[in-house]
Amino acid sequence: MTFFENVSVAPTGATRPVLLLLYSATIVMEASQGYGMAHPASSPGLVLIAMYLLHKKLNAIPTVGPTDFLSASRFWTEQGWDILQEGYNKYPNGIFKVALPDQWMIIINGRRLIEDTRKASEEELNMTESLNDALAVHYTLTKEIALDPYHVAIIRTPLTRNIAAGFGEIKEEMELAFTEYLADVKNDWVKIPAYKISFQIVGRVTNRYFVGLPLCRDSDWLDLNTHFAIDVFMSAAIINMFPQILKPLAGRFLTKMPASMKRATKLLQPIIQDRLAREEEHGGKAWPGKPNDLISWLIDEAKGGLRNIHQIIARVLAIEAAAINTTSTTLCNSLYQLATASPSIVQMLREEVDEIIAEYGWSKQGISKMCKLDSFLRETSRFSGAGGFVNRRKVMKDFTFSNGVTVPAGTTLCTAAYMHHHDKVSYYENPDTFDPLRFYRMREHEGANLRYQMFATDLDFLMFGSGRNSCPGRFFAVYQIKALIAHVLTTFDIKFENGVAPAYKWYGPEKGLDTKAVMMFRKRQD
Ligand code: HEM
């Protein structure tokens, strides 16, 4: 039984007005806080007018799926997929809303409306605010992270710029991690729990780059940060079931952040303390032997009250949470796809990897030349990537789309990635067919070489979001995943025992991987 099945409530079908009132009250309160308005409770008359207007604006957007509060939890079952697909089919290039237990989610369909969101200013549609809400960042992480996401610029610049310089270490850790976690794999087929292994290997490689030796091999540190993202998502899901007014109380008791901070402090405090002391000793940021890693980049950029040990530790945890879960699940999904690919496709990918490694060695440059592998992985993410709600934006002031529909301030909008990637008419030829060289061929068209690389964002490919807020860690994630799959291709044969990939399961908008699936590995035989 899943978390969401656990908390679902039997539908009653009779509470629609209550739902509307509850949503309206929540949205009115959130919108008023966003604009520094007087608290709505200070003027009940104003609240009623605001709720009436909001109700009217929300009513103008069609609803798909359950409309009553108690049945809204049905969305968090496999019915979520049916509801979204129904809305996608019914309103092509249009807008609809679905009821979630704590709010309306407004879904925008199609390229044209996504383009509108890209052009909107942060004062109109805001990604950070939507993330702060979705992950209850004030409570599950810290209020400083919610208020000042300076780490995004660090991921975008030093973390991404240093990939080439750090590639030798990434490669070393990758090989060691595979050797260690797949120690039993020899010439006979061995069963391997792919989901678990994906987290272990990504945890090791990511941490070698983020925090270096010896911490990247510390079992307590790895255990903490490979589970931390799940803790954040789970706590946020429960906190978000409480009405706005009770969230501070719920947040205080339901967050796991204090316990995680305690564990992290034991391991990180001495490292940060030592680096701050060296800085002081040498009178500045540059000192001999300074590690070129995430801890140093955070210390270099932290300002004012954010420049202390506690705040730096919280920031490291937050970045690990953004990086490890997403990269591990993408790696696992890619392994599932590779294990069921035809021998000719595997052969083709191997030839490409072998030739490039022979010419360029294991380097960032070599990895970027693996165009067939890149296409295979981008297609895997398009075809069967976890999807979910992407391009989440909080509506900061009433926003009118180019099709004339207005979404009210205080609501949240997004796009359903899977439906967009499988659109039957608009974007991809035969979208329900897995075509490993789809993007390779598209890159051959004049001027399109860079446009269809795996990390390139595009109105038709939403794995990393789109526009100015698209994922800043996507370059690191893609180089890592490509290197890991290239290593698997050169070193192992893989398959599923019965030749069939495990079934996916839908949870609301998410296409969930089978976390218990067992794959077969043996040393490469050809
Ligand atoms: C395959 C792996 C990954 C996937 C699929 C992924 C996906 C995403 C998506 C969909 C968004 C939202 C973008 C939008 O709404 O427009 C996002 C944001 C973000 N990602 Fe990633 N991500 C991945 C890896 C990483 C890594 C490795 C890091 C850190 C090194 C990272 C850090 C972030 C951060 C900090 C944000 C928020 C950006 C902001 O506030 O502007 N991600 N990611």
Spell out the per-residue pLDDT of the chain, length 526, in tens: 232 222 222 223 334 444 455 555 555 555 544 443 444 455 667 767 777 777 788 999 999 998 876 777 777 777 888 999 999 999 999 999 998 877 899 999 999 999 999 999 999 999 999 999 999 999 999 999 999 999 999 999 999 999 999 999 999 999 999 999 999 999 999 999 999 999 999 999 999 999 999 999 999 999 999 899 899 999 998 998 887 889 999 999 999 999 999 999 999 999 999 999 999 999 999 999 999 999 999 999 999 999 999 999 999 999 999 999 999 999 999 999 999 999 999 999 999 999 999 999 999 999 999 999 999 999 999 999 867 899 999 999 999 999 999 999 999 999 999 999 999 888 899 999 999 999 999 999 988 889 999 999 999 999 999 989 999 999 999 999 999 999 999 999 999 999 998 988 888 888 889 999 999 999 999 8
Q: How far, CA to CA in Å, does 319 sit from each of 65, 151, 153, 293, 370?
A: 35, 8, 12, 13, 28
Residue closest by Cα to atom 40 of ligand 1 = 128
User: Could you identify the atom of ligand 1 that is nearest to the CA of residue 381?
Assistant: 5
Ligand 1 centroid to Cα of residue 262, in Å, is 26
Ligand 1 centroid to Cα of residue 322, in Å, is 6
Pocket test for ligand 1, best of 159, 327, 471 (most atoms within 8 A of CB): 471
Ligand 1 centroid to Cα of residue 466, in Å, is 11
**384 CB near ligand 1 (under 6 Å):** no
Taking domain 3-523, whether its CATH number is 1.10.630.10 is answered by yes
Helices 247-254 and 219-239 pack at an angle, to 10 degrees, of 160
Ligand 1 centroid to Cα of residue 165, in Å, is 22
ipTM of the complex: 0.99
User: Could you identify the atom of ligand 1 that is nearest to the CA of residue 330?
Assistant: 1
Ligand 1 centroid to Cα of residue 155, in Å, is 10
User: Could you identify the atom of ligand 1 that is nearest to the CA of residue 392?
Assistant: 15
Residue closest by Cα to atom 3 of ligand 1 = 326
Q: Which residues, including other chains, have CB under 8 Å from residue 496's CB and lie 6 or more apart?
A: 339, 340, 502, 517, 519, 520
Amino acid at 14: A
**513 CB near ligand 1 (under 6 Å):** no
Amino acid at 407: V
Ligand 1 centroid to Cα of residue 375, in Å, is 20
**415 CB near ligand 1 (under 6 Å):** no
User: Could you identify the atom of ligand 1 that is nearest to the CA of residue 206?
Assistant: 27
CA dihedral (475, 152, 274, 228) positive or negative: negative
Cis peptide before 92 (omega within 30 of 0): no
Task: Note whether 80 and 509 are within 8 A (CB).
Answer: yes
400 beta partners = 406
Return the closest-CA partner of residue 511 out of 332, 279, 284: 332
**Is 471 annotated as contributing to ligand binding?**
yes
**210 CB near ligand 1 (under 6 Å):** no
Q: CA-based angle 331:127:29, to the nearest 5?
A: 130
Ligand 1 centroid to Cα of residue 49, in Å, is 38
- Concatenated DSSP letters of 349-395: HHHHHHHHHHHH-SSHHHHHT-HHHHHHHHHHHHHHS-B-EEEEEEE
Task: Note whether 332 and 195 are within 8 A (CB).
Answer: yes
Rounded (10°) CA dihedral 135, 141, 146, 148 = -140
**330 CB near ligand 1 (under 6 Å):** yes
**322 CB near ligand 1 (under 6 Å):** yes
